[in-house]
Chain A
């Protein structure tokens, strides 16, 4: 017992800073779980088309507003997952063709099935999907979360939307991080007038109501722009007001570290300014920056979702969570097709996950405390 204790203490004494951080982080169970959820979401980002099973852009008016269908896992006591097929029906009053669920016909599920064609990572052509149907009629389909007004499958669209919604958050945070580290660093290193100007700039930006400004700037993007151009412009608009928190963290840590003995020692030993900043200071507050970044991400994701929800952010054919939620905007549609609100679920999960992860990282960032 006592030898065990001493060996653990010895281990603690020789551990690197990153090991200590990891040990501290590991204790925060909710943060670890959130980290796993975040990883899972980014795996979906990488393989979005693989997790989708229907072409997210394919419309079919006959499939309009099909409610979610459950998968039946057992058939006659054996594990043989299936869904019910569809039959075509004509509404006798409106003469409109539509599909109805046929409870008598079973269509069995298949994994790693062939489906619509896509390019993995935008490069490798593929048509393999996680789920598919065996021996299906052309009208049959899986409808895990139902379909929208024009008959597009919601599950597949949510999967593909993850790609844009989560990368735009990362891109926005990268730009914010760059601005925050640059301006926060300048503020701390030079002090005086530069510091005063940058601090006032931050105060001014923080006292502005963000959404009306974003709306105004986003509405100014020309209609002729491509999806990529709009994507980049929205990223810049969102990070334009988002860098201030990061700049404050960087400046605060910088100023606190400057008075530490080991920095004075490095200065006395003749280390250059560059070496002091990147070799001695940066490792000490890198973990804090990572934590602040993880806490800044949810705000970015909410911003993009809000703008797209208003119809001022990304535009169709781009698919993001905000664009999916646009369909659920009015009470008439919601009363008719409440499953359209399902697009809100991933938004809430990822925001919670980033918040808990950031919390855990912030606690772990200072493992000596």
Chain B
């Protein structure tokens, strides 16, 4: 079992390394180097940089050296928490990102919990009452959930909220808490604003999980041990909850590892539509302004967050499902 955990941990580290290389490629990708962009940015705002200073900057960032040396230099700074300077904001990248990273994680986690909370009971219901009216309704909703990209759903909901209630449903905080320092009241305000974006984000994943849960449970319900349990006179809900549901949960749980990257991804794009203060809008702005250290750092941090989340979910899965543990022993 320890060997299994170690293997997952090594894979997680390799994945993070791959993400860091990709982030570095993104930082390097625009034509010209970072100092060119920096000088152009400075001269646009009126000040100028002498050739001497430019050379100094190039040596500081190692731009005169081969690309892999630059990567190592960048990584060694990143590992101690120095992500460089944002060109657009003239402030350290870490400061610009600030709370936004945690709000992204909060939104993705809320969506994950909702996905589970909704999909589990509805999947069970759909399987137990197969071909009932409710089953058909749920199936239809599931397919719509699969077919409507979540940013479109966000657009449509925002439009109807505006037309029907005259309300702007965007944002994660009420206006009075927007710039306020963190307090219990602000946290409560966040909790009140989270459900709508979390539901929008969770819909597609929920739809998929309902289908999986329904199919798995239907397979289990046809097995002889269910008939045995029923013949012994167990109450129907116990027959279902005690054995088949637990057996059907395994493949259900393994999808969680793919669900998390998917939710983080989705949160970026719906944040833009609903103007949520997550890293999504910041990333888009940074990419358009070619503020590459900021953009690269956001991609890197999101990737690392996702990998850690996936790793934790692997551990939880192992803890929950005895079959995985036994297979390993």
In contact, A216 and B11 (Cβ under 8 angstroms): no
Question: Which residue of the partner chain A has the closest CB to B158?
Answer: A331
Q: Does A310 contact B (CB under 8 A)?
A: yes
Question: A91: shortest Cβ distance to chain B, in Å?
Answer: 25
Q: Does A329 contact B (CB under 8 A)?
A: yes
In the complex with contacts A207-B310, A208-B15, A306-B269 CB distance below 8 A: yes
Question: A187: shortest Cβ distance to chain B, in Å?
Answer: 17
In the complex with contacts A212-B268, A219-B287, A334-B162, A207-B152 CB distance below 8 A: no
Give the docked Cα–Cα distance between A82 and B306 (Å): 57
In the complex with contacts A222-B31, A305-B149, A211-B155 CB distance below 8 A: no
Q: Does A215 contact B (CB under 8 A)?
A: yes
In contact, B162 and A335 (Cβ under 8 angstroms): yes
In contact, A204 and B155 (Cβ under 8 angstroms): no
If A200-B14, A220-B25, A355-B143 are given as contacts, then 13 extra A-B residue pairs at C-beta distance below 8 Å, sorted by A number, are A200-B11, A203-B11, A207-B261, A208-B261, A211-B266, A211-B268, A215-B287, A220-B29, A305-B149, A331-B158, A338-B159, A341-B156, A352-B146
Question: A21: shortest Cβ distance to chain B, in Å?
Answer: 22
- Which residues on the B side are within 8 Å of A338 (C-beta)? 159, 163
5 chain-A/chain-B pairs, Cβ below 8 angstroms: A207-B310, A212-B299, A215-B284, A331-B162, A351-B148
Question: A315: shortest Cβ distance to chain B, in Å?
Answer: 12
In contact, A204 and B11 (Cβ under 8 angstroms): yes
In contact, B146 and A204 (Cβ under 8 angstroms): no
Q: Does B318 contact A (CB under 8 A)?
A: no
Question: Which residue of the partner chain B has the closest CB to A210?
Answer: B265
Q: How large is the interface on B (under 10, 10 to 19, 20 to 34, 35 or more residues)?
A: 35 or more
Q: Does A276 contact B (CB under 8 A)?
A: no
Q: Does A302 contact B (CB under 8 A)?
A: yes
Chain A residues with a Cβ under 8 A of chain B: 200, 203-204, 206-213, 215-217, 219-220, 222, 298, 302, 305-306, 309-312, 325, 328-329, 331, 334-335, 338, 341, 344, 347-348, 351-352, 355-356
Give the docked Cα–Cα distance between A286 and B307 (Å): 34
Question: Which residue of the partner chain A has the closest CB to B301?
Answer: A212
Question: A165: shortest Cβ distance to chain B, in Å?
Answer: 12
In contact, A204 and B158 (Cβ under 8 angstroms): no
Q: Does B258 contact A (CB under 8 A)?
A: yes
**A interface, over-half SS:** helix
Question: Which residue of the partner chain A has the closest CB to B284?
Answer: A310
In contact, A216 and B306 (Cβ under 8 angstroms): no
Chain B residues with a Cβ under 8 A of chain A: 11, 14-15, 18-19, 22-23, 25-26, 29-31, 143-144, 146-149, 151-152, 155-156, 158-159, 162-163, 168, 170, 257-258, 261-262, 264-266, 268-269, 272-273, 283-284, 287-288, 290, 295-296, 298-299, 302-303, 306-307, 310
In the complex with contacts A208-B306, A219-B287, A312-B287, A344-B298 CB distance below 8 A: no
Question: Which residue of the partner chain B has the closest CB to A217?
Answer: B26
Question: Which residue of the partner chain B has the closest CB to A338?
Answer: B159
In contact, A216 and B295 (Cβ under 8 angstroms): yes
In the complex with contacts A222-B31, A334-B159, A355-B146, A204-B269 CB distance below 8 A: no
Question: A106: shortest Cβ distance to chain B, in Å?
Answer: 32
In contact, B288 and A341 (Cβ under 8 angstroms): no
In the complex with contacts A302-B149, A325-B152, A207-B307 CB distance below 8 A: yes
Question: Which residue of the partner chain B has the closest CB to A349?
Answer: B147
Question: A326: shortest Cβ distance to chain B, in Å?
Answer: 11
Question: Which residue of the partner chain A has the closest CB to B17?
Answer: A204
- Which residues on the B side are within 8 Å of A212 (C-beta)? 264-265, 268, 283, 298-299, 302-303
In contact, A329 and B26 (Cβ under 8 angstroms): no
- Which residues on the B side are within 8 Å of A207 (C-beta)? 15, 257-258, 261, 306-307, 310
